Amino acid sequence: MRQLIEFKNIVKEFNGTLVLKGINLVIHENEFVTLLGPSGCGKTTLLRILGGFLSQTEGEVIFDGIEISNVPPYKREINTVFQRYALFPHMNVFDNIAFGLNIKKQDKNTIKQKVTRMLKLVGLEGYEDRPVTLMSGGQQQRVAIARALVNEPMVLLLDEPLGALDLKLRKEMQHELKKIQQEVGITFIYVTHDQEEALTMSDTIVVMNNGEIQQIGTPTDIYNEPENRFVADFIGESNLMEGNMVADYRVRFDDHEFECIDSGFSDMAPVDIVLRPEDIDIVPVEMGKLRGIVQSSLFKGVHFEIVVETPYREFIIHTTDNAAIGQEVGLHFFPEDIHIMYRIGY
Amino acid sequence: MVGSKRRTWIRVLLIAGVLLFFYAPIASLMVFSFNDSRSLTSWAGFSTQWYTALFNNREMMSAIYVTLVVALLSTFVSTVVGTLTAIGISKSRKIIRELIINVNNFPILNPEIVTAIGLMLLFSSLSIEKGMLTMLVAHIIFSTPYVILTVLPKLRGLDPDITEAAMDLGATPAQALWKVIIPLIMPGVISGALLAFTMSFDDFVISYFVSGNGVKNISILVYTMSKRINPTINALSTILVVIITVVLLIVNLLPMLKKKELRGAE
Q: What is the pLDDT of residues B209-258, one digit of tens each?
A: 888 777 888 888 888 877 677 788 888 889 888 988 898 888 888 878 87
A14 Cβ contact list (under 8 Å, min separation 6): none
Of the listed ranges A6-15, A40-49, B100-109, the one predicted with least confidence: B100-109
Averaged pLDDT for residues B60-72? 89
Contact status of A148 with chain B (Cβ, < 8 Å): yes
DSSP state of A80: E
Identify the pLDDT of residue B252. Answer: 84
- Residue B163: closest CA among chain A residues belongs to which residue? A86
First vs last C-alpha separation in chain B: 47
Average pLDDT of every residue of chain B: 86
Identify the pLDDT of residue B261. Answer: 66
Residues of B in contact with A89 (CB under 8 A): 159, 184
Percent of chain B with pLDDT over 90: 30
Q: Which of A47, A88, A130, A157 should we substitute to test contact with B (largest number of B Cβ atoms within 10 Å)?
A: A88
Averaged pLDDT for residues B126-136? 85
Identify the pLDDT of residue B149. Answer: 92
Give domain A237-342's CATH superfamily.
Nucleic acid-binding proteins (2.40.50.140)
Are B167 and A74 a contacting pair at CB < 8 A? Answer: yes
Distance CA A68, CA B200 (A): 50
Percent of chain A with pLDDT over 90: 42
Are A82 and B161 a contacting pair at CB < 8 A? Answer: yes
pLDDT digits (tens, 9 = 90+) for B144-193: 999 999 999 999 888 888 999 999 999 999 999 999 999 999 989 999 99
Distance CA A331, CA A256 (A): 13
Contact status of A170 with chain B (Cβ, < 8 Å): no
pLDDT at B262 over 70: no
Of the listed ranges A42-46, A93-97, A254-258, B143-147, the one predicted with least confidence: A254-258
Distance CA A56, CA A47 (A): 11
Distance from CA of A15 to the nearest CA of B (A): 12
Indicate the pLDDT class of residue B40, thresholds 50, 70 and 90: confident
Q: Where does CATH 3.40.50.300 sit in chain A?
A: 3-229
Indicate the pLDDT class of residue A324, thresholds 50, 70 and 90: confident
Are A88 and B168 a contacting pair at CB < 8 A? Answer: no
Contact status of A82 with chain B (Cβ, < 8 Å): yes
Domains of chain B and CATH, by start: 56-234 (1.10.3720.10)
Average pLDDT of every residue of chain A: 89
Are B171 and A88 a contacting pair at CB < 8 A? Answer: no
Identify the pLDDT of residue A91. Answer: 92
What is the DSSP pairing of strand A17-28 with strand A3-14?
Answer: antiparallel
- The CATH architecture assigned to A3-229 reads 3-Layer(aba) Sandwich (3.40)
Percent of chain A with pLDDT over 70: 99
Are A99 and B171 a contacting pair at CB < 8 A? Answer: yes
Identify the pLDDT of residue B43. Answer: 79
Q: Which of A14, A99, A111 should we substitute to test contact with B (largest number of B Cβ atoms within 10 Å)?
A: A99
| Full-model pTM | 0.78
Distance CA B229, CA B248 (A): 29
Identify the pLDDT of residue B3. Answer: 59
A–B CB contacts, 8 A cutoff, strictly below: 61
pLDDT at A299 over 60: yes
pLDDT at A233 over 80: yes
Q: Which of A15, A76, A82 should we substitute to test contact with B (largest number of B Cβ atoms within 10 Å)?
A: A82
Identify the pLDDT of residue B131. Answer: 81
Q: Which residues pair with A67 in a beta bridge?
A: A62
Q: Where does CATH 2.40.50.140 sit in chain A?
A: 237-342
Distance CA A146, CA B204 (A): 56
What are all long-range contacts of B187-192, with beta carbons under 8 Å and residues at least 24 apart? B187/B154, B188/B150, B188/B151, B188/B152, B188/B153, B188/B154, B188/B155, B189/B79, B189/B83, B189/B147, B189/B150, B189/B151, B189/B154, B191/B150, B192/B79, B192/B82, B192/B83, B192/B146, B192/B147, B192/B148, B192/B149, B192/B150, B192/B151
Identify the pLDDT of residue B196. Answer: 92
Identify the pLDDT of residue B266. Answer: 46
Indicate the pLDDT class of residue A203, thresholds 50, 70 and 90: very high
Are B168 and A80 a contacting pair at CB < 8 A? Answer: yes
Q: How many CB atoms lie within 10 A of CB B116?
A: 20
Interface of B to A at Cβ within 8 Å reads: 159, 161-162, 164-172, 175, 179-180, 183-184
Q: Where are the alpha helices (DSSP H) in chain A?
A: 43-51, 93-103, 108-121, 137-149, 167-184, 195-201, 219-224, 229-234
Identify the pLDDT of residue B225. Answer: 77
pLDDT at B132 over 90: no
Residues of B in contact with A151 (CB under 8 A): 169-170
Q: Regarding predicted confidence, which is higher, A101 or B159?
A: A101
Indicate the pLDDT class of residue A346, thresholds 50, 70 and 90: very low
Averaged pLDDT for residues A60-67? 91
Residues of B in contact with A128 (CB under 8 A): none
- Residue B185: closest CA among chain A residues belongs to which residue? A90
Distance from CA of A117 to the nearest CA of B (A): 18
Identify the pLDDT of residue A333. Answer: 92
Distance CA A45, CA A55 (A): 9
Instruction: Write the ipTM.
Output: 0.80
pLDDT at B263 over 70: no
Are B164 and A89 a contacting pair at CB < 8 A? Answer: no
pLDDT at B265 over 70: no
Q: Which residues pair with A241 in a beta bridge?
A: A273
Contact A297/A304 with Cβ under 8 angstroms? yes
Q: Which of B158, B161, B167, B168 should we substitute to test contact with A (largest number of A Cβ atoms within 10 Å)?
A: B168
From its phi and psi, is residue A42 left (phi > 0), alpha (psi between -120 and 50) or beta?
Answer: left
pLDDT at A279 over 60: yes
Contact status of A108 with chain B (Cβ, < 8 Å): no
